[in-house]
Amino acid sequence: MRFERREDVSVTALLVAPFAAVLVALVLCAGLIAMAGVSPLTAYAGMLKGAFGSRLAVTETLTRASPLILTGLAAAVAFRARLWNIGGEGQFYLGALTATALGHATVTALPVPLAWATLALAGMAAGALLLLIPALLRLKFGVDEVVTTLLLNFITLLFVGLMVETVLKDPMAFGWPQSVPVAAGLRLPDLVPRSRLHIGLILAVVVVLIVWLVQSRTVFGAETRAAGLNPRAAAFAGVPITATLVKVAILSGALAGLAGVIEVLGPVGYVTTTMSPGFGYAGIVVAMLAALHPLGVVAASVFVATIFVGADAMSRATGVPSFIADVIMAVALLAMLVALLFTTYRVRR
């Protein structure tokens, strides 16, 4: 058996790949659900109902999807240039922390739209700076950015813990380690009344559209693709590889930082060290399921959010541990990798 590169990748194959991967993941995980003494069909039906069964459920799923769109997009733009940003989790937290630190009092004097812009830019700058460290370490010293971005996640989380227990500690939180709240006037308005869904979702989708246009219509987008496909050939063709990777790092880190900003200004309102249920890591799965395409990121985010919100509800009803969501996601990621292989290679005997 050997693999042969296909001359051209069909769009249909790329569209089918994520669905095939998800199907494989659901079939494989059915065995694990059956081990819990619950029929997999009942469990999956329960997950669908939990994620879409009521108005509240739908808004919860979309609330969960909002930051995922941005962390997924952060991973997608970086991976496209073969910049392995695994630090989305840390960048998310640093963005959230920055928005809270400034949003508690500093920017409250500004008119609300200006204050929002300031917080968004500050959070994006924080995320971008955090990714610039490993990006520059790779470009200057050849240090693999996978390990450094991963290690920076741990460092950042400890730093957030330090901040919420000291200078940003909320004295009204009865000893809970949580930060001071963002000024009430700065919280993002709800999209649907009496829900947690906020206009951050709209913002995330708009950002996706902008990134899509930039990637498909500008020189920078073409350079990103070239740098990812074959850096040596790209450099030979005159693509400034270093400058492109620095720009990609700034963009990717900023997107993950923005995810933290909308989560703080939207549903949460303050920072804790447990505020992210792995948004950064799930963003990697989102990016891969989307085949690194910005528009695919939106669909993949809603899918991943469905699995998580649905699994929580299903777990309460049936007793199947909610960690099944993490297993489904991981298997879907691995299956997607294999599916992508078959879109670019064919098997010859």
Partner 1 sequence: MTAAFDILANASLWEAVLRIATPLIFGVLGALVCERAGVLNLGIEGIMTLGAMVGWLSVYWGADLWTGLAIAVLAGMMMGWLHAMLTVPLGLSQHVSGLGITLFASALAYYLYRLWVQVGDLPPTIEPFRPWPIPVLSGIPFIGQVLFTQMPPTYLAILAVLLVAYILNRTPAGLALRMTGENPHAVEAQGLNPVRIRIWAVMAGSGLMALGGAFLTTATFNSFFPTMVQGRGWICIALVVFASWRPGKALAGALLFAFFDAYQLRLQTMVQGVPYQLFLMAPYVLSIVALILVARRARVPEALMQPYRRGER
Tell me which residues touch partner 1 (CB under 8 A).
2-3, 32, 35-36, 79, 84, 86, 137, 141-144, 146-148, 150-152, 154-155, 158-159, 161-162, 165-166, 281, 284-285, 288, 321, 323-324, 326-327, 329-331, 333-334, 337-338, 341
Q: How far is the CB of 110 from partner 1 (least distance, A)?
A: 32
Is residue 317 a contact partner of residue 269, using CB atoms and an 8 Å limit?
Answer: no
Backbone angles phi, psi at 84, to 5 degrees: -85, 80
Structural element, H or E, at residue 3: strand 2-5
Q: How far is the CB of 216 from partner 1 (least distance, A)?
A: 23
* Nearer CB in complex with partner 1: 210/229: 229
* Nearer CB in complex with partner 1: 59/301: 301
Q: How far is the CB of 176 from partner 1 (least distance, A)?
A: 17
Q: How far is the CB of 59 from partner 1 (least distance, A)?
A: 26
Collapse the DSSP code of 346 into the 3-class scheme (helix H, G, I; strand E, B; otherwise coil) and give the result: strand
* Nearer CB in complex with partner 1: 2/194: 2
Q: How far is the CB of 133 from partner 1 (least distance, A)?
A: 9
Alpha-carbon distance of 82 to 231, in angstroms, equals: 9
* Nearer CB in complex with partner 1: 154/176: 154
Alpha-carbon distance of 289 to 17, in angstroms, equals: 8
Q: 69 CB contacts (<8 Å, ≥6 apart)?
A: 201, 204, 205, 207, 208, 259, 286, 297, 298, 301
Closest CA to 310 of 34, 64, 38: 64
DSSP secondary structure code for residue 108 in this structure = G
* Nearer CB in complex with partner 1: 112/338: 338
